[in-house]
Every structure is written in structure tokens, then in C-alpha cells.
Amino acid sequence: MIPRMKTTTIDSEHRATIPGSVPHERFWIIEEENGYRLQRLPKPDKTTKLSREDVIRALHSSKLTFPRDWEEMRADTREP
């Protein structure tokens, strides 16, 4: 009896369907001398959603703030 190998092809958008995998499953691609090997990565821990207060606190403490107000930035653009 001839052993069967699981194979896959790449579509036009450079995606591959791996037999036995499920959506959103992650793999580590290991390059070897004669090809590639895929190693399944463990699922990441479920993160809890932040509360509204936590989100507001994070926004206020963020360093990503604009040094100028909207009207000053608008004057620098082509908008009248």
C-alpha cells in the first residue's frame, strides 16, 4: 500500500490551507535544509476586556497626545 501524504496548495492571494488546522490557528515556520517545518503555537491566553474607566484612564495617561489644538493644526492644512 502506498502511504498518503497530506499536501496543500497556495492560492492567488498567497494563502495556504493546512489539513487538520482550524481558523485562527498559529504556526511557527522553521526553515530546514530540505524545506520548511511547521510547529503549532499554543493558543494565547484569553484577555479580559478593559472596563470603561480603565480605557479612559489609559487614554489620559497615554503619551500619544497632540501638542497643539485642532484649530492650530487645521490652519497648517489646505482647509480654509
pLDDT in tens, 29-74: 899 998 888 899 988 777 788 899 999 998 888 887 777 888 888 8
Q: Does position 80 have pLDDT exceeding 70, yes or no?
A: no
Sign of CA dihedral 15, 21, 22, 27: negative
pLDDT value of position 63: 80
Q: Is the pTM higher than 0.85? A: no
pLDDT of 53 reads 94
Query: Mean of the pLDDT values across residues 7-31?
Result: 86
